[in-house]
């Protein structure tokens, strides 16, 4: 029998089929080799990252935000270390009992914890941020796989509501949102670092790797604020707002020699350490961002402009009878009728008619130039977020009635900060000082605005306004000479003026012989029957000024004798 005919020796499959199988196997091996080359050669970085993601983590090392200090080194804002609880949802191994214990420990609902761990495609979630180290230790004791902790910093404000609008606050990530915190974000904020580590399957760090970058902590900021004066100003302002059932108020205490802001308080306010019930109105630093018509507190500037160009002197007599002045369809009125007043008495008695007549002696540009030079119509350059520029219309558009009413603070809008700054020209021989929220190493140079003789004459006039016979005797302080001006103005409302809503204000300097402090106080909508600046705002000024001068150790410049206040029938009210 032939070999090919033997059934035992005959090949079980055709030769071509074997060759096909060999080719297919070779092709498969080639594909696998190509795939391996592609993944390990061309996609090495991707695979490496996937591999490292199983055991390697890059953790953020938080930076400590710089402290905010007052001028004496007392802390106004500090960062305290806290813990945050986070998780990788796919790594969490927890029973229902574990989740309930976790929720109870964190004072959260169980449903809220479950929603956060649901993941929804995320590989990182915060369960709760900024908890105390004590609570974090209790969470760690639960031993839930996949639930981790990290260090963070939480901002704390020792001054609370007293300095809330001035200092501001940060968000949960430590970024400034309001006030000084926002204005000086670049100075205060540090730069977070990184830390590369190896973790085991339970998320525990077992080794630190190279490539870590240390955090760069923020720098401290020293403010011009004096916490003692700030606390005094806030408490007296709050007392006045309550006593007169007012809508709000503001007060600014300025160093007359340097322009440093020693106190800046507002009402209503809020607690920056607990902002659960925070409202938009409480956030506003009204003394900086709100504008109002300053009323009679602007008369000293009008008269200063007239004296400076030689149109009047302190002894020039102004005919104010019959107590009214009609310009077109409008009539300007005085609260107290006089036949005639000297320029000094126009300030002392706060005569609208007298101020209007003096203003009308001037070219509009003269008055506008002084307003512009003292900073009205532009931001005071404090660097504070949202600071107002106020409103001063171009002098070329002024009508006679507008020029007349602007002389006593109507038809022009300023912020309380702008107003208190304008009064620095009377404290420093006619020089306007720049303002500073930060503590200064040396006094800045003022910009000449008025002749020194003019500034001294107006300062002397302002002193008469606080004596008996003036509108501000309640601003007197035992042992100190005080110069200042009352202001009362109707509030603007719906395109006009509200008949029974007022801004009551007082701006003053002391000691008048050599001014050390300038204080501006504003009460918004007093509604307890009294609304004149001399009876509502002047006492706030006196209390704060007296306390601040004692705190600073300023020596008296007047006899230490009791203050004599006029009776209700003798008190002089400023014209509104």
Could you list the active site residues? Answer: 296
Question: What gap in Å lies between CA 151 and CA 129, rounded to an integer?
Answer: 10
Q: Are strands 221-222 and 68-69 parallel, antiparallel or unpaired?
A: parallel
Kindly report the backbone phi and psi dihedral angles of residue 325, in degrees, each rounded to the nearest multiple of 5, phi listed first.
-140, 120
CA nearest to 432, candidates 413, 453, 452, 449:
449
Question: What gap in Å lies between CA 168 and CA 157, rounded to an integer?
Answer: 9
396 DSSP assignment: G
Question: What gap in Å lies between CA 492 and CA 59, rounded to an integer?
Answer: 55
Question: What gap in Å lies between CA 305 and CA 298, rounded to an integer?
Answer: 11
Kindly report the backbone phi and psi dihedral angles of residue 222, in degrees, each rounded to the nearest multiple of 5, phi listed first.
-105, 115
Contact 294, 489 (CB under 8 A): yes
Helix (H) or strand (E) segment spanning residue 196: strand 193-199
Residue in this structure with the two tokens 């977020």, named with its chain if needed? 385
Question: What gap in Å lies between CA 231 and CA 320, rounded to an integer?
Answer: 44
CA nearest to 390, candidates 408, 363, 372, 367:
372
CA nearest to 124, candidates 59, 173, 61, 64:
59
Contact 321, 357 (CB under 8 A): no
Q: Which residues pair with 265 in a beta bridge?
A: 251
Contact 545, 482 (CB under 8 A): yes
Read out DSSP for 329-376? TEEEE-SS--SEEEHHHHHHHT-HHHHHHHHHTS-HHHHHHHHHHTTT
Which two three-digit tokens encode residue 60? 């953020």
Q: Which residues pair with 448 in a beta bridge?
A: 431
> Residues with Cβ < 8 Å from 251, sequence gap 6 or more?
233, 234, 236, 237, 263, 264, 265, 266, 287, 416, 519, 520, 521, 522, 540, 544
HEC string for 142-179: HCCECEEEEEEEEEECCCHHHHHHHHCCECCCCCECCH
HEC string for 428-486: CCCEECCCECECCCCCCCCEECCCHHHHHHHHHHHHHHCCCCCCCHHHCECCECCEEEE
Which two three-digit tokens encode residue 278? 């925070």
């Amino acid at each position: 029998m032939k070999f090919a005919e033997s059934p035992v020796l005959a090949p079980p499959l055709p030769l071509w089929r074997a060759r096909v199988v060999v080719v297919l196997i070779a092709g498969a091996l080639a594909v696998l080799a190509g795939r391996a080359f592609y993944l390990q050669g061309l996609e090495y970085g991707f695979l490496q990252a996937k591999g490292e993601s199983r055991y390697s983590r890059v953790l953020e090392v938080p930076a400590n935000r710089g402290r905010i200090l007052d001028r004496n080194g007392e802390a106004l804002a500090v960062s305290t270390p806290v813990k945050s609880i986070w998780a990788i949802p796919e790594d969490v191994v927890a029973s229902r009992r574990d989740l309930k214990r976790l929720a109870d420990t964190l004072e959260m609902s169980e449903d809220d914890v479950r929603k956060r761990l649901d993941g929804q495609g995320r590989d990182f979630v915060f369960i709760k941020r900024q908890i105390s180290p004590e609570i974090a230790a209790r969470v760690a004791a639960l031993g839930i796989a996949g639930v981790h902790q990290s260090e963070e910093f939480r901002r704390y404000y020792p001054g609370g509501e007293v300095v809330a609008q001035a200092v501001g606050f940060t968000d949960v990530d430590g970024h400034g949102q309001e006030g000084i915190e926002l204005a000086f974000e670049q100075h205060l904020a540090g730069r977070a670092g990184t830390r590369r580590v190896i973790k085991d399957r339970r998320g525990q760090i077992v080794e630190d790797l190279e490539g870590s970058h240390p955090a760069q902590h923020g720098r401290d900021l020293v403010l011009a604020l004096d916490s003692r004066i700030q606390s005094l100003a806030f408490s007296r302002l709050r007392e006045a707002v309550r006593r007169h059932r007012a809508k709000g108020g503001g007060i600014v205490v300025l160093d007359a020699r340097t322009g440093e802001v020693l106190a800046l308080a507002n009402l209503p306010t809020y607690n920056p350490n607990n902002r659960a019930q925070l409202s938009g109105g409480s956030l506003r630093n009204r003394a900086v961002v709100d504008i109002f018509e300053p009323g009679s507190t602007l008369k000293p500037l009008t008269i200063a402009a007239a004296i400076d160009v030689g149109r009047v002197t302190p002894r020039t007599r102004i005919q104010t009878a019959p107590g009214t002045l009609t310009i077109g369809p409008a009539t300007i009125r005085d609260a107290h009728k006089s036949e005639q007043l000297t320029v000094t008495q126009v300030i002392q008695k706060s005569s609208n008619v007298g101020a209007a007549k003096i203003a009308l002696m001037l070219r509009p540009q003269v008055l506008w130039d002084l307003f512009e030079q003292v900073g009205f119509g532009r931001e005071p350059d404090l660097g504070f977020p949202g600071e107002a520029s106020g409103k001063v219309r171009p002098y070329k558009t002024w009508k006679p009635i507008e020029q007349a009413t602007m002389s006593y603070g109507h038809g022009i809008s300023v912020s309380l900060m702008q107003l208190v700054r304008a009064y620095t020209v009377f404290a420093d021989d006619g020089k306007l000082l720049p303002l500073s929220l930060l503590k200064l190493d040396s006094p800045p140079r003022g910009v000449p605005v008025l002749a020194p003789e003019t500034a001294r004459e107006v300062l002397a006039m302002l002193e008469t306004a606080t004596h008996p016979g003036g509108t501000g005797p309640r601003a007197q302080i035992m042992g100190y000479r005080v110069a200042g001006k009352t202001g009362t103005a109707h509030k603007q409302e719906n395109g006009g003026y509200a008949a029974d809503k007022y801004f009551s204000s007082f701006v003053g300097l002391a000691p008048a012989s050599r001014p050390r402090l300038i204080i501006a106080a504003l009460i918004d909508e007093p509604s307890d029957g009294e609304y004149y600046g001399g009876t509502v705002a002047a006492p706030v000024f006196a209390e704060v000024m007296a306390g601040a001068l004692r705190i600073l150790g300023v020596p008296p410049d007047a006899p230490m004798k009791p203050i004599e206040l006029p009776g209700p029938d003798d008190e002089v009210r400023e014209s509104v």
